[in-house]
Chains A and B, each alone.
Chain A
Amino acid sequence: IQMTQSPSSLSASVGDRVTISCRASRSVTTNLNWYQQKPGRVPKVLIFGASTLQNGVPPRFSGSGSGTDFTLTISGLQPEDFATYYCHQSYSSPFSFGPGTKVDVK
């Protein structure tokens, strides 16, 4: 299963609403996770099962979708949210990641 993300990068300001898309080459049902990685840090899971917020993750993050099309939304971007975001499918091997979307400061 091939994973694509769009855009590959975006520039945004604090307070903006940001939307990142992820598409699978075939259905992964809802076995789609979102990870955030900051420079020099290990990735951390934000959303699992397409729409479930991981404990401790701020509610400004939300996920939606099923099948092949998924979206990560950040409602009200905060300074600590500037990072790279990856989608990842856990439905079938190879358990591929998307290429990432880098969110930086406008």
Chain B
Amino acid sequence: EVQLVESGGAVVQPGGSLRLSCVASGFKFENYGMHWVRQAPGEGLEWVSLISWDGGSTYSADSVKGRFTISRDNSKNSLYLQMNSLRPEDTGLYYCVKDLDSRGYYSYMDVWGKGTTVTVSS
């Protein structure tokens, strides 16, 4: 079964840091681009970041650029999101998402994890 399982969500103070992880199973992880997508409580979907199959290309939303870093370890079938300088507006459910394409664009997101919750509050 194709599966993505996120972890690492927590309550953190503004200005703090957090590292999210996502472990993939049931497919050849190294062949696919991977995204992080978030959803604030009661709000819509917001694309956060994309990494290509080999980690050679990364892209981020303007709202997180310079603060969040996406990375992957294909030997561990794992995706990461290092989140620094967190703000209250970063609060939400963070989804790890597989793309159908190795680059992660000109394509679509076909498998979603259940998400991990990040709360930024003092």
- Interface residues of chain A, those whose CB is within 8 Å of chain B, are 31, 33, 35, 37, 42-45, 48-49, 84, 86, 88, 90-100
Q: What are 12 A-B interface contacts by the 8 Å CB criterion?
A: A31-B106, A33-B108, A45-B108, A48-B100, A84-B44, A86-B45, A88-B45, A88-B109, A92-B105, A93-B105, A94-B61, A100-B44
A99 neighbours in B (Cβ, 8 Å): 44
Bound together, the chains give a CA A34 to CA B55 distance in angstroms of 27
A43 touches B47 (CB 8 A): no
Q: Which of B47, B62, B108 has the most CB of A within 10 A?
A: B108
Binary contact track B45-60/A, C-beta < 8 Å → 1, others 0 = 1110010000000011
How many inter-chain residue pairs (CB < 8 Å) link A and B? 65
Please list the residues of chain B having a beta carbon within 8 angstroms of any beta carbon in chain A. Answer: 35, 37, 44-47, 50, 59-62, 95, 100, 104-110, 112-115
User: Are B45 and A44 in contact (CB-based, < 8 A)?
Assistant: no
For the complex, what is the distance from the CA of A90 to the CA of B104, rounded to whole Å? 8
9 nearest A-B residue pairs (beta carbon)? A93-B59, A48-B108, A42-B112, A100-B44, A33-B108, A97-B45, A94-B61, A95-B47, A90-B105
Q: Do A42 and B105 have beta carbons less than 8 Å apart?
A: no
Q: Determine if A42 and B114 form an interchain contact, defined as CB atoms under 8 angstroms apart.
A: yes
A residues near B104, Cβ cutoff 8 Å: 95
Q: Are A43 and B105 in contact (CB under 8 A)?
A: no
B62 touches A97 (CB 8 A): no
